[in-house]
Structures are given as structure tokens and as C-alpha cells.
Amino acid sequence: MNEQLWTKAIVMGSSAIGAGLAMIAGIGPGIGEGYAVGKACEAIGRQPECKGTVQSTMLLGCAVAETTGIYGFIVALLLMFANPFIGKL
Amino acid sequence: MSHEFTVTGAKVFLEIHLFGSTINITETLVNTWIVMAVIVGLCLFLTHGMQVHCRTKRQVVAEFIVKKVNAMVGENMGERFLRVGYAPLIASVMGLSALGSLSGMVGMYAPTSDLNTLLGWALLVFALITYNKFRAGGPLGYIKGYFQPIPVLLPFNIISEIATPMSMAFRHFGNIASGTVIMGLLRWALANLSYAIFSKLPGVLGQIFGPIPLLQVGIPAVFSIYFDIFSSLLQAFIFCMLMMMNISSAAED
């Protein structure tokens, strides 16, 4: 009994750490999207007449750049709320 | 007072046993049908009593939506796709996605925060991409496409063929689900915080006001503007944009 409790505690603790580590993936999209928005601001400043096109292209690019962060988030969500390892104990 | 914060999936209302397999009627399915009924009702309302010369406000709205979608499809996919009739498809996916995500705001379980819905849409996108590739190059051209530019890349081409719709589904799901989780965490934290503050009030006042989450009034609404409204509409737009681009680029090669 005691040993099983220990195993469960270790698995749950490691899962929480893993979820935290998975969310490091949020750094990349943050930097990338910030860069993209900065460039879009420059483009609008240079050519204010094509604001609409630049905006929609930027939003699309941001959404695509976000994908890796979203993958990290899904892994974290799985580890926190739908842990596949606890069921295997 | 401190409840545990959990994220739950869709509830299963009904289990139908058919031919040895089980079909679950979940909250997602029911809410999707509700959203579809709302969209059909909206369409019937907007197009009721149409005239050649626009006289009513709702006809203006209906014409505006149709013109916008036609312009978007014509610009991103080309005139041929507009003629074949891709505009209604794009408009319906966009409407379903937007209203489905926004339905989370009235307390329903948003159909788009369930991965199954999005994987269903991804299947639709995959079928359309494959159909357009077949149509553009014929069966031989389709198979040849997997061996481009060199035959060694066959496994990677197969993976990328599957990854395109999958990543679309995961992107939409992740965005909506992250909004739901963050809003849930915020409400949970505010409830605990207001309990911690108001239960310290002297005497009977603390017992009355302690369990009522007073801090939940107003504050979540500010965050809801971004996480619910902006994110929902943006994801609907992006899903449709990516759908149009993937389909039209499949027809080109």
C-alpha cells in the first residue's frame, strides 16, 4: 500500500513538472508573433493604404506561428487533467 | 470552500447500442445541433421576404454577408472555385465555428472545445484536398505527387499530407480550450479570493457574504472579451482562411 502511494506520488509529481516544462514551448510563439507584429507595424507605417491586407496576413501568420505553442499546451493539458500514466500503475 | 479545479470533457447523455458498438450522444453533439438550428433559423429570418430592391434592414445584412464571403472566396481561391460553389461551404463552416465557440459564453459546453468536432472538420478538409488533387492531376498525378521531388521523401510526404488537416484541428481546439481553461482558472481563483476576504467580515456578515463569490462580478467579463469573443472569431476566420488556401493550392499542383 505504502509503496503504491509512493509510486503514484512520484508519477503525479513528475507529470506536474512535465506539464510545466511543456509550457516552455510558449516562449517561441511569443517571440515569433511579437516579431511579426512589429514588422506589420513597420509595413503599415510605411504604407498606410494597405492596412487591411497587412492586418489579415499578419493575423493568419500569427495563427500559424502559434501552432507549436498550442501543441505544448495540449501536452500540458493531457498531463494535468487526462494523465495517461496514472492508469497504467 | 476551496473547490478543486478540474477540467471535464463533454457529458454523455445517452448511450445507443447498435450492431455491437456503442454510440455516445454527448453534450458536444447536442450543442452542435442547437447551434446548427440557430444558424438555420438565422438564415430563414434574414432571407424572409426578399425583394429585388432592398427595403428591409435584414436583407441588407444578408446581402452584406453573401457579398463579403463571395469576395473572400474569389480573392483567395479564384473565380473557378466561386463558380463551383465553395462560398456556401466556407460561410457555413465559419458560421458554425464562430457561433459554436461563442455559445460557450451563454454557459453551454462549446462544441469547438471538443477535439472530436474539429477532427471531423479536419476530415472534411482532407477529403476536399484529396479530391482537388485527384481532379487536378488524375490518379497517376496524385500518386506521383507523393514521390516529389525525390522518391526517398515518400514517408515525409505522407506525414505532411496528414499533418495539414490535423494541425488545423489542433490549432482551433487548442485556442478555444486554452481560453476555457484560463477563464475557469480565473473564476476559481476569484471565488477563493472573495471567500478569503469576505469571510473575515465580523459576525453574521462574514457568514452571509463569505460563500458568495462577489469578486466574480465584472472582472471575468474583461478577460472574456479577449478569450471568448476575439479568440473565437479569429479562430473561425483563420480556420476558413487555411481551408481556402489548402484547397486552392491542392488544385494548383
3-state secondary structure of B23: strand
Nearest to A63 by CA among B238, B111, B233: B238
* pLDDT at residue B98 greater than cutoff 90: yes
User: Residue range B33-60: average pLDDT?
Assistant: 88
- Give the separation between CA B176 and CA B169, rounded to whole angstroms: 11
Percentage of chain B beyond pLDDT 70 is 98
User: Residue range B75-96: average pLDDT?
Assistant: 88
Q: How confident is the model at residue B152 (pLDDT cuts 50, 70, 90)?
A: confident
Q: How confident is the model at residue B110 (pLDDT cuts 50, 70, 90)?
A: confident
Supply the ipTM of this predicted assembly: 0.75
The stretches of B47-153 forming alpha helices (DSSP H) are 57-77, 79-84, 86-102, 115-145
Beta strands (DSSP E) in chain A are none
Q: Which of A59, A71, A80 sits opposite B238 (nearest CB)?
A: A59
Contacts of B246 in chain A (CB under 8 A): none
Lowest mean pLDDT, pick from A56-70, B5-19, B114-128: B5-19
User: Residue range B71-98: average pLDDT?
Assistant: 89
Nearest to A88 by CA among A15, A19, A2, A20: A15
Task: Locate A44 and state its grid cell.
Answer: 503599415
What pLDDT is stored for residue A1 in this prediction?
A: 65
Chain A residue with minimum CA distance to B169: A67
Cβ contact B242–A67 (<8 Å): no
- Give the separation between CA B111 and CA B78, rounded to whole angstroms: 31
Quote the mean pLDDT of chain B. Answer: 86
What pLDDT is stored for residue B191 in this prediction?
A: 84
- Give the separation between CA A19 and CA A40, rounded to whole angstroms: 33
Q: How confident is the model at residue B2 (pLDDT cuts 50, 70, 90)?
A: low
User: Residue range B55-63: average pLDDT?
Assistant: 87
User: Residue range B211-239: average pLDDT?
Assistant: 85
* Mutation for A interface: B113, B170, B240, most A CBs within 10 A: B170
3-state secondary structure of B161: helix
Task: Locate B249 and state its grid cell.
Answer: 493550392
Contacts of A81 in chain B (CB under 8 A): 6-7
Q: Tell me, yes or no, if A67 comes closer than 8 A to chain B by beta carbon.
A: yes
Lowest mean pLDDT, pick from A22-31, B228-237, B244-253: B244-253
What pLDDT is stored for residue B199 in this prediction?
A: 78
* CATH tag for A26-84 (out of 3.50.30.50, 2.40.50.140, 1.10.8.60, 1.20.20.10): 1.20.20.10
* pLDDT at residue B15 greater than cutoff 70: yes
Q: Point out the residues of chain A with pLDDT beneath 50.
A: none
What pLDDT is stored for residue B1 in this prediction?
A: 46
